[in-house]
A and B are shown apart, each in its own frame.
Chain A
Amino acid sequence: MALSDQEILSGLGDIIEEIAGVPAADVTPEKSFVDDLDIDSLSMVEIAVAAQDQFGVEIPDDELKNLKTVKDVVVYVQGKGVSA
């Protein structure tokens, strides 16, 4: 069964809290990683690896640089349509 947007958002919130120390509740769709959540490029690499573990979706480096907001990641993971 595919994950819902809400499940992806919630999982992403936990990952970001663990890696960057941003409270999961602050990880809302419209937030920009760099401008709003103060997450740097090395942390994004860690987040991408953790997301792959959790959602089974690999995010290549050339895709990662296009994912600017939380919603971008949710849409990307959802678009790959991998079952949990």
Chain B
Amino acid sequence: MSTSVVVTGLGATTPLGGDVASTWSALLAGRSGVKSIEADWAKDLPVRIAATIAVEPSEVLPRHRLRRLDRCQQFALIAAHEAWRDAGFAFGDEEAAEGFRVDGDRLGAVVSSGIGGIITTLDSYDTLREKGWKRVSPFAVPMLMPNGAAGQVSIEFGAKAGAHALASACASSAEAIGYGIDMIRAGRADVVIAGGTEAAIHQLNLAAFASMRAMSTRNDEPERASRPYDKNRDGFVLGEGSGIVILESEEHARARGARIYAVAAGVGYSADANDIVQNDADGMAKAMGRALTDAGLEPSDIVHINAHGTSTPIGDVGEIKAIKKALGEAAGRIVVTSTKSMTGHLLGGTGAVESIATLLALREGLVPPTINIDDLDDEVDLDIAQGEPRKLPGGPAAALNNSFGFGGHNVCVAFRRHQS
């Protein structure tokens, strides 16, 4: 029997709110975080909408810290601080700091990003061309590197068991949670700060995704643009933000009397080895099947799936097929939702933010609705939560969070209700 891993702290900063509580209440209320981009740089783009962060980091972090952190690192630090406090840990070296003191050599940090400090990269290049090399910040390299957020979080909290940044595009932060689970199971850490972050709302990224014809161009109705499973969906909406969870061995959590949100029961991975941008249903199904096996769960244990559901015409239907393939006849009894209908697509932040939504749905017994479904796609023949939040049955139950990334990465994280 492998070590049981539990979730004891949650943190997030998203297009819906500056913390977990405000994000969760907006999800239950079915509120969209998608807005028009008013900046001049967007006016010639086919896509002029995005799910920008609800609370700017400048409202939270002091100026001198902001200037040496990429925006994605700012998000990650804000979310990590919330999760750290939420778990009841002491921050800083002061004797008087309240909370449990974690042994740094038993603490890991796994914080992913799909793209890394892309805004620093692009802005620094503008600076170089316009003002010369001396004006490029001496902090540009640690700000733009994709492992920058993992390094910053490890420094902030003194995580010396290891700092890791796994890149698998839109599956990155689900993979980070999986890696954190594995660190604890392997005995390399007792506590892991795990999750991901992304800050990629920039002219170039919008142009590049638009060039793929992957994005919604419903510019006149921002709040209605992200509409997974609706017949008239026309692509994803780019979002930004970060989600962080505190993973902890159950033994460690129990010994300090921690509040336990859920059991991080297992993770399943697969690679399509097929197409670089179009994930296939077989690969997605394999990830879900492997998550069940890893977690020791049966399809009948699953009451809820937080789907990847990005609102692209092909991807959404592929995932529905995959759920049926992986879970068989049990699939029809599972409440499925896509919270991207409200948050947009947070790329490397999405797996962690949606894992938080998944385990809160289990804990609260309420599944946030998928908004904007006016006309359900005929090929979507599963029970999609719509309208009011959907109640889940009580008792032992489990849920899955799917994340799929360009490159053919499929990751599924399984959470189980904790029975005390």
Asked if A70 lies at the interface with its beta carbon under 8 angstroms from chain B, I say: no
Q: Which residues of B contact A45 (CB under 8 A)?
A: 138
Stretch at the interface among A18-26, A27-35, A74-82: A18-26
Residue A46 at the chain B interface, CB threshold 8 Å: yes
Question: Which of the candidate stretches B62-70, B202-210, B383-391 sits at the interface with the other chain?
Answer: B62-70
Q: Does A49 contact B (CB under 8 A)?
A: yes
Interface string of B138-176 (1 = CB under 8 A from A): 110000000000000000000000000000000000000
B residues less than 8 Å from A19 (CB atoms)? 64, 67
Sample of 19 A–B contacts (CB below 8 Å) = A17-B64, A18-B63, A18-B64, A19-B64, A19-B67, A20-B64, A21-B62, A21-B63, A21-B64, A21-B65, A42-B138, A42-B139, A43-B138, A45-B138, A46-B137, A46-B138, A46-B139, A49-B134, A49-B135
B117 to chain A, nearest CB (A): 16
Apart from A18-B64, A49-B135, 11 more pairs, CB < 8 Å: A17-B64, A19-B64, A19-B67, A21-B63, A21-B64, A21-B65, A42-B138, A42-B139, A43-B138, A45-B138, A49-B134
Interface size on A, residues (CB 8 A): 10
CB distance from B136 to the nearest CB of A (A): 10
Please give me the residue from chain B that is nearest to A49 by CB atom.
B134
* Complex interface: chain A residues within 8 A of B65 (CB): 21
CA A80 – CA B134 in complex, angstroms?
Answer: 20
Write the B51-77 contact mask toward A (1 if CB under 8 angstroms, else 0).
000000000001111010000000000
| Chain A: minimal CB distance from B194 (Å) | 28
Number of interface residues of B (CB under 8 A): 10
| A8 → B minimal CB distance (Å) | 21
User: Please, which residue of chain B has its CB at the minimum distance from the CB of A45?
Assistant: B138
Residues of A within 8 A of B139 (CB): 42, 46
Q: A45 vs B133: C-alpha distance in the bound complex, in angstroms?
A: 12
Determine the residue in chain B with the shortest Cβ distance to A48: B134
Within 8 A of B (CB), among A1-29: 17-21
Within 8 Å CB of B137, what residues of A? 46
- Which A25-65 residues have a C-beta within 8 angstroms of B? 42-43, 45-46, 49
Contact with A along B101-141 (1 / 0, CB 8 A): 00000000000000000000000000000000011011100
Question: A20 vs B135: C-alpha distance in the bound complex, in angstroms?
Answer: 17
State A45–B134 Cα separation when bound (angstroms): 9
On chain B, the residues within 8 Å of A21 by CB distance are: 62-65
Please give, as numbers and ranges, the residues of chain B lying within 8 Å of A20 by CB-CB distance. Answer: 64
Give chain A nearest CB distance to B364 CB in angstroms.
39
* A28 nearest CB across to chain B (Å): 19
Chain B, Cβ-Cβ closest to A17: B64
Residue of A nearest to B137 (CB): A46
Assembly CA distance A46 to B135 (angstroms):
9
Residues of chain A within 8 A of B62, CB atoms compared: 21
B62, B135, B138 — most chain A CB neighbours (10 Å): B138
Q: Which 6 A-B pairs have the closest CB atoms?
A: A21-B64, A42-B138, A45-B138, A20-B64, A21-B62, A46-B138
Cα-based distance from A20 to B137 in the complex (angstroms):
13
- With a cutoff of 8 Å between Cβ atoms, the chain A residues found around residue B135 in the complex are 49
- CA distance in complex: A45, B137 (Å): 9
B contact residues around A49 at 8 Å (CB)? 134-135
Note all chain B residues with C-beta closer than 8 A to A17.
Answer: 64
Distance of A19 Cα from B137 Cα, bound (Å):
11
| Residues on the B chain within 8 Å of A43, using CB | 138
* Cβ–Cβ < 8 Å partners of B138 in chain A: 42-43, 45-46
Please provide the chain B residues from 174 to 225 with a CB less than 8 Å away from any CB of chain A in the complex. Answer: none
Bound complex: CA A20 to CA B68 (Å): 10
How far apart are B77's CB and chain A's nearest CB, in angstroms?
A: 15
